[in-house]
Amino acid sequence: MENLNLTVKLKFPVEHNGGLIGELNFRRMTVRDILQAEKFKNGTELEKDMRVLGNLTEQPMDVIEKLDMVDMLGEVSDLLSALMGNE
């Protein structure tokens, strides 16, 4: 799928599988991304949003869960909200 060419550089890189992830690259959103998140009926809205974030950045939930709140509450959250139409 075509990349949006939107990259968020993390202020606090995430350690994963012996390496560091210092940025998140976002791809275009699809209906499937939302449908997959909605399958977690017992999940909170935050959990569903984090699943969408994982899908759009093609990162496993382990990486998303390790994001520092400074990064999550900054540009990552703003971009995710804009992509989901919550501006």
Q: Tell me which of 42 and 15 has the higher pLDDT.
A: 15
The band of 1, judged by pLDDT with boundaries at 50, 70 and 90, is very low
**68: three-class secondary structure by DSSP:** coil
Q: CA-to-CA distance for 4 and 26, rounded, in angstroms?
A: 6
**Which pLDDT score, from 0 to 100, does residue 6 have?**
86
Looking at residue 56, its pLDDT comes to 92
Give me the helices (H) in 1-87, please.
31-38, 45-57, 61-66, 69-71, 77-83
Quick check: 59 and 19 in contact, CB under 8 A?
A: no
> H or E stretch including 14?
strand 3-16
At 17-60, the pLDDT tens digits run: 999 999 999 988 889 988 888 887 788 888 888 999 999 999 99
**Residue 49: per-residue pLDDT:** 87
